[in-house]
Amino acid sequence: MFRDIKIKLISGILTSINSGFLYYLIESKGVTVSKELNILEGLLEVLVKSLLYSIICVLPLVILFGIPISLLIDYVLQRINQMNPPISFLLHAIAYFIIVIIYWVINFGVDKIIYIGEPEIAYNVFLFVYTPCVFWIITYSIKKQYLRK
């Protein structure tokens, strides 16, 4: 059990960095470098800001929600002897999507969610399905490495 928690924690940290970088680049609407900065200083600024975004915004959500839900999914699948990677992958994506919908309803209300435009829905669905998929892929890869040893 401790090994699973350690694997999930490593996966969570790597996923947070990956997703935080992607979210920062998308939300900043095109990162531009001022004329006073050279390109390396601009890249360093982007890396620092995206790392801070990852640590402040993404990592707490992954640790508070993602890791416990992932452990629960793995536990349930082991109990019913269905530790099948595609099923696990789908359950991770669905569970995270349900959490995001609950979050939206609590913060914005049902009325605002019903009238969201199609491009914004597609954008949000991509962002909110990307994170658990990356988390699952990293976790699965690390577990495969442990099994080879």
Quote the tokens at residue 73.
Answer: 């999914």
Residue 122 reports pLDDT greater than 80:
no
- pLDDT of the residue at 58: 79
Tell me if the pTM is above 0.85: no
Percent of the chain at pLDDT > 90 equals 5
Question: Taking 70 as the threshold, does the pLDDT of residue 36 lie above it?
Answer: no
Residue 145, pLDDT score: 87
Cα dihedral 92, 98, 100, 106 sign? negative
* pLDDT band (50, 70, 90) for residue 117: confident
pLDDT digits (tens, 9 = 90+) for 70-101: 889 888 888 888 778 888 888 888 888 888 78
